[in-house]
Amino acid sequence: MKTMILNYSLLLGFVILFSCKGKLKSNSKILSLAANSNNMPILTLLNKRIELGKVKKDSSVTGKYYFVNTGTKRLVIESVNPDCTCTGFYLTKNEIESGDTSCLLLKMSTKNKEGDIHINATINANTPTRFYKVSLSAEVIN
Amino acid sequence: MKYLIVIIILLIQLSSCFNKTHDRNLIEGELISKVNLKIGKISLDSFYLDSTSTSFIGTLHVYHDNIIMVDNQFCWVFRFDRNGKLISRNIGQGDGESELPCRKIDAYVLLPNGEHMFFGPSWDVYIFDSNFIKIADYRIDWHPRGNKEYVGLHPDPSDPIMYSATFGLQQIRADKKNVYLPLYSQHNLFNPIVETYSKQARVIGEMDFKTGDVTKIFGRLSPIYQQNKSVRIFSYLHYDLIDDDEMAITYPVDSVIYIVSRNFSLKRKFGSAGKSMSMNYQVIKEYNKISSTWSKESKSKGYYTSIDFVKQRNLLFRSYQKSGISLVDGLQIYKFDELIADVDIPKKCKIIGYIKPYFYISKGPDEISGNTKLFRFQLPL
């Protein structure tokens, strides 16, 4: 049983990793931005807001946020802080070379929630801007 | 022995009088309803704050000649000049000496001496001086009388353990010694849906900001909450400090403005209803529906959204939301007890302060448009 859970976890990890990478590799516009940056890492978010619409109560929902290092130095994600204890996160990698991509996955529980919900998460990186925000919204129904 | 009995009887009577005063306080006294509309319209001049790396979740304030923008998500404090030009970016989230170690700011208070006070999500408080150097941090001490297990089964409206602060709905105010925290209770047996709440709930907590001690909880909801069940989803208040003793109180669903002392005894009451305010809110019977119902009703129905006293001009402002698909909100201006203006303002705007000769209003940072727009106006008074 333990092996089965481990296998499923690994599989899930790979699916997330490759789904993020696949989408980003095709985005040539973003890669071209790397050339414009000065001697520093730059975090460019490809999507910041996800609206999930109606979701069921007592379930869990996820949002994926893709970003690319459009600077010339290595980008380091120092922390990710969702503003609700109901939300966990997974980062495909927290050190991103110039031109490379990563993906942040937020997983929110709708347990004991009802109506409109809006969760923000702050990404803290080694860039001049330092902080970035992504958000996840949904309407929880019974 | 005789004297002792007399003293005991007197004390019991005094105590019952005291309770009665608190229960009936806001009902008593004559309602002043003076209207002398001297201003029919205000002319708004608009401008934007300089673009900054902000989360667009936060609040705006005025201190002396500066506009302050507090970013609740990233914990930045931006300082702008009176025209919106960026002067400095300070603090920020982090573990450094002059950074905020909390994940987000739940509430911010600009203290009268220019110090900055931040409330984190776990009753954690941080104070920075006017140069943004951290000078204090502590946790709020509510001084609960009961323990959670006991109070869970035996709710006591006079015990601070029953309450939380309603951060986010209103501006928090402070005088030279205390910060006043707006309160509400989420207790299963004592919350806005429960019949006794409208009469017994305390609505303000007085916290000594040097120590973090909540020294007393006081105040009540207005009598309208006892008369009308549909308004109970709005069981909180807005307030501002007038001078060393007086507070101006408005409730989201009551057209009356109450001027009370710091122990909540009524000094006078006045006010006129705002225009185009439909207040037929949905009645709910279950506490777990309160948040979603408030969220829905507050989008389309009329209610009062803030009260602000501008000391430099001795004027009291009350903003309100008009109901339905109105493209504007309302702003009432009172001089002493008299309504002198009830004018249209852009949606969701509130007074943020006064820099001579302008009054500044804004709805705050706008996440959707990615900018922060302010309006200012003068009054010919």
Positions in chain B short of pLDDT 70: 1-24
Q: Are A49 and A135 in contact (CB under 8 A)?
A: yes
What is the per-residue DSSP string for B173-200?
Answer: EE-SSEEEEEEEE-BTTBSTTSTTHHHH
Q: Chain A interface residues facing chain B, Cβ-Cβ under 8 Å? A: 81, 83, 114-116, 120, 122, 124, 129-131, 133
Q: Which residue has the tokens 């998460």?
A: A121
pLDDT of residue B4: 59
End-to-end distance of chain A based on CA atoms, in angstroms?
Answer: 33
Q: Are strands A60-69 and A43-45 parallel, antiparallel or unpaired?
A: antiparallel
Counting Cα atoms < 13 Å in the Cβ hemisphere of B300 gives: 8
Domain boundaries in chain A? 2-141
Q: Chain B interface residues facing chain A, Cβ-Cβ under 8 Å? A: 53, 55, 57, 73-74, 76, 92-94, 103-104, 121, 288-289, 291-293, 295-296
pLDDT at A20 over 80: no
pLDDT by residue (tens digit) across B85-108? Answer: 999 999 999 988 889 999 899 999
pLDDT of residue B178: 96
Q: Span A2-141: which CATH code?
A: 2.60.40.10
Name the helix (H) or strand (E) containing A140.
strand A131-141
B56: which 2 tokens?
Answer: 């667009």
pLDDT of residue A2: 46
Contact A133 B57 (CB under 8 A): yes
pLDDT of residue B10: 52
Which residues from B are below 8 Å from A130, CB to CB?
53, 74, 92
pLDDT at A4 over 60: no
pLDDT of residue B146: 82
The alpha-carbon gap from A81 to the nearest alpha carbon of chain B, in Å, equals 7
pLDDT by residue (tens digit) across A33-77? Answer: 444 556 899 999 999 999 999 999 999 999 999 999 999 999 999
- Chain B CA closest to residue A129: B53
> In whole angstroms, what is the distance from residue B177 CA to residue A124 CA?
36
Q: What is the ipTM of this complex?
A: 0.76
Q: Are strands B213-218 and B238-241 parallel, antiparallel or unpaired?
A: unpaired
Please name which of A21, A44, A18 lies closest in space to residue A33, comparing C-alpha atoms: A44
Q: In this predicted model, which residue has the larger pLDDT, A7 or B303? A: B303
pLDDT of residue B126: 97
> In whole angstroms, what is the distance from residue B234 CA to residue B237 CA?
8
pLDDT by residue (tens digit) across A123-141? Answer: 999 999 999 999 999 999 8
Contacts of A28 (CB under 8 A, 6+ apart): none
Q: Are B307 and B238 in contact (CB under 8 A)?
A: yes
Contact B291 A115 (CB under 8 A): yes
pLDDT of residue B281: 92
Q: Are B319 and B351 in contact (CB under 8 A)?
A: yes
From A83, A124, A129, residue closest to B53, measured CB to CB: A129
B39: which 2 tokens?
Answer: 């201003």
Peptide bond into B357 cis (omega under 30): yes
pLDDT at A24 over 90: no
Report phi then psi at B162, rounded to 5: -75, -15
What Cα–Cα distance (Å) separates residue B86 from each residue in A31, B127, B377?
32, 23, 21
Q: In this predicted model, which residue has the larger pLDDT, A14 or B322? A: B322
| Residue B229: strand, helix, or coil | helix
The pTM of the full predicted model, rounded to 2 decimals, is 0.85
Which residues from A are below 8 Å from B286, CB to CB?
none
Please name which of A93, A82, A118 lies closest in space to residue A43, comparing C-alpha atoms: A93
Give the model's confidence band at A10: pLDDT under 50 very low, under 70 low, under 90 confident, else very high: very low
pLDDT of residue A33: 45
